[in-house]
Structure 1
Amino acid sequence: MDLSTDGGTNVRPRDLDHLKYHSDFHEAIAEIGGNSLVLKLLRSIRNEIDTQRHKYLDITEEDWNRMMEEHRQIVEYIRNHEPQKASQAMREHLLKGLYNVIRNEEEEDKE
């Protein structure tokens, strides 16, 4: 999968490797940005996701498409040498992801 050309838009949510792709995308962006703290946090999160993979496999097509569009936009900003826009878009993408994780945990606690 080539993150530099499509932002992963050809990956589908039901693909077995979609979580790996998603983690790889975030790690690649952190590496490009030279942010070792973010890279360490992402790898830590990846370990957590790997242990609880079943929780994250149930993603809607709509949510997956939204995430892939966000990835595509981030790649486009990087390709166009717009680091401020790329940084802002990545920040918003990560915050949405964090919100979704928290929301899913709250819903699971209610069950």
Structure 2
Amino acid sequence: MARKSQKGAQPPGDTLEQAAYEMLMRKIMDRSLVGGAVIQERKMADAFGISRTPMRRALAKLEGEGLLIRLTDRLLSVKLVSLQECLDAMAVRLLIEPEAARLATGRIPAPKLEELKSQLGDLTTTKNPSRDMHWALDDNLHTAIAQYSGNKAILDTVAQLRRTTRMFEEMAVPQPTWSPGTEEHLKIIKAMQRGDPGKAAEAMRVHLVVSRKNVLGMLDQ
């Protein structure tokens, strides 16, 4: 009886579904759920304290986005991203994100650029910055640029591609003792502050080329 009462007090199913989706996404991205980890709908719903219906929908959404692979009717696993999949995603990002930077220049608000610059400053002045600090800045900058490009297809595609590259880096790339990309990030921000779309696009292109090189270099370590 108590269990039924508790569920009756829960928020609507769509709210629970979104909350479960966001929590599962975080667990995948921060490696709490590693590549290949098996997920059982019922156990995951119990762990989250929700019914199976919103959990089933959240898992289906993640499966549709390619983050989960279905094993059976009731079991899924976290996708293992291969090096080739990561490189393919990086290649498409190289086609899209410089254009996003060009389009976002002049549209992204000055306070947002100052926020990004301040966040970057905190990262560069922190001794041995954590992986979480690096990804927080990376997510904020790339998402903001895609958002202010004014093109929803760019925003959605960049989000999908970045999930693929991040999953591979989290699973396969050793933790660096420095925060990669900070110099290129600063050049992107400064070009946008100056209102120079060409320079912003070029800075983004260089950043992505260097990121690819860094990933391959760290794999050789």
TM over 0.5: yes
TM class by shorter chain equals 0.5 to 0.7
Structure 1 gap ranges (5+) = none
What's the C-alpha RMSD, in Å, of the aligned pairs? 2.9
Instruction: Tell me how far apart the structure 2 counterparts of residues 67 and 39 of structure 1 sit (CA, whole Å).
Output: 21
Task: Determine if the alignment matches structure 1 residue 77 to structure 2 residue 194.
Answer: no
Partner of 1:8: 120
Change beyond 3 A, Cα 1:103–1:41: farther
**Residue of structure 2 aligned with 1:43, choices 159, 169, 172:** 159
Which letter does structure 1 place at the counterpart of 2:177? T
- Measured in 1, the distance between the counterparts of 2:176 and 2:137 equals 14
TM-score, normalising length: structure 2: 0.38
CA contact (8 A) 2:184 2:206 kept: no
- Work out whether 1:59 is the aligned partner of 2:176: yes
The answer (yes or no) to whether the contact 2:169–2:215 under 8 Å persists in 1 is no
Cα deviation for residue 73 of structure 1 reads 1.6
CA–CA distance in 1 between the matches of 2:196 and 2:144? 17
- Give me the identity figure in percent: 24
Task: Tell me the SS of whatever aligns to 1:29.
Answer: helix
| Kept after mapping to 1: 8 A contact 2:120/2:137 | yes
Structure 1 position 18, deviation (Å): 2.1
More strand by share: 2
More helix by share: 1
**Does the CA contact (< 8 Å) of 1:14 and 1:57 recur in 2?**
no
Pair 1:91-2:208 in alignment:
no
Determine which structure has more spread, i.e. the larger CA radius of gyration: 2
Letter in 2 for 1:27: T
2:182 alignment partner in structure 1: 68
Aligned residue pairs: how many?
103
TM-score, normalising length from structure 1?
0.68
Of the two structures, which has the highest relative contact order with CA contacts closer than 8 Å and spacing of 6 or more?
Answer: 1
**In structure 2, C-alpha distance between the alignment counterparts of 1:18 and 1:3, rounded to whole Å:** 18
